[in-house]
Copies of this chain bind each other. A is one copy, B any other.
Amino acid sequence: MPTLDDVGKAAGVSRGTVSNVFNRPELVRPELRERVEEAARRLGYGGPDPKGRLLKEGRFNAIGFMPPGAYAIAEFIRSPYGRELLQGAALACDAAGATLSLVNGTDETRTGTIREALVDGFILGNVVDINLVASAKRRRLPFVILESDAGPDVNSIRIDGRSGAMDAVRHLTALGHMRFAILSIRRTAGSAIIHLPGQAGRGLLAGFALDHERLQGFRDGLAQAGLSIDDVPVIETRPGDPEAGAAVFDHCPDATAILTMSDWQAITVLDEAVRRGIDVPGHVSVVGFDGTAESTRTTPPLTTVAHDVVGKGRLAAEMVLENGPPRQVVLPVELVVRASTAPPR
């Protein structure tokens, strides 16, 4: 690839002049300009390489988005939650004239990615591996983490998952439900993990912050109705696992209410219900989480623990772009009652 120098040589002028021809053409006498442009054409010069400029300018004018532990970018875009989050981030980037870089990376390579990504800051999707936060700090770029809190010196945005989950349970117990099933999120590769009541080592409340918090909310909500989460089957599936619905119906045949951790999971359950001819909400009630646009369009429309996902994505990008003092934001949630819940059969 020819460089400014090559073009300059070919046109019999200096590098600086060639640079001017491309960046400040008004500074260069027309006939000279023409000569330089002609030389550039002849050599197949594609214009000043942004790499060079970059080094000088010092900014990529881009922020990186790293999807949550369990996802690849492609998978994340597929999820209703993921695409609204990206939408919001894209909105903010657009407004700021910045680029949104979708960086991939398996759990093992993410640290390296953080070290080397060509960005001015990061949005770290729900962080599973806490070492990522350490890596991000080390890079000394602004970043924000989603759905975790890593202390007062780290930007974070999360929702109050516990109270949202409690609201969902309260709604269902108020309708008279007593027999629940919980669809939780598996944060590693693989198919559904079934935790039946009474099973040893259910370790449900270990895991990852987001899931932990929501499970706590479910637990506490159940407790308020005199029920124990220990009697509730919990199934962990990967976010977009199409088998999730099947797993629930197979393993929790007498649940009258199914609590989930995302609208996507709830949709899977709805789909499986159609397949099996199970009536929702007549036979079983289903509650989603996140309140994405999808949840309004299902059949029946989904009762869900909603928050402003697009707004969250936008805020995240804004925080990174602004690079102000660290903030920990907790967004409100609201139970939106639609037609997927009703009194038990």
CB within 8 Å of B: which residues of A?
1, 44, 46-47, 50-55, 58, 60, 62, 64, 72-74, 77-78, 83, 86-88, 90-91, 93-94, 97-104, 115-118, 138-141, 267, 271, 297-299
Contacts and interface: CB of A to CB of B under 8 A. Distances in A.
Given A1-B140, A72-B90, A94-B74, A52 B50 contact: no
A42 to B, nearest CB: 14
Contacts of A103: 99
A52 B55 contact: yes
A138 B72 CA distance: 33
A153 to B, nearest CB: 14
Nearest to A100: B102
A21 to B, nearest CB: 14
A39 to B, nearest CB: 15
A138 B41 CA distance: 9
When all copies of this chain in the complex are counted, the total is: 2
Nearest to A61: B118
B139 A47 contact: yes
Contacts of A297: 267, 271, 297-298
Nearest to A59: B51
A101 B99 contact: yes
B54 A138 contact: no
A89 to B, nearest CB: 8
Nearest to A78: B87
Nearest to A271: B297
A91 to B, nearest CB: 4
Given A54-B51, A138-B47, A140-B44, A99 B118 contact: yes
A103 to B, nearest CB: 5
A87 B139 CA distance: 28
B102 A140 contact: no
Contacts of A140: 1, 44, 46
A290 to B, nearest CB: 16
Nearest to A45: B140
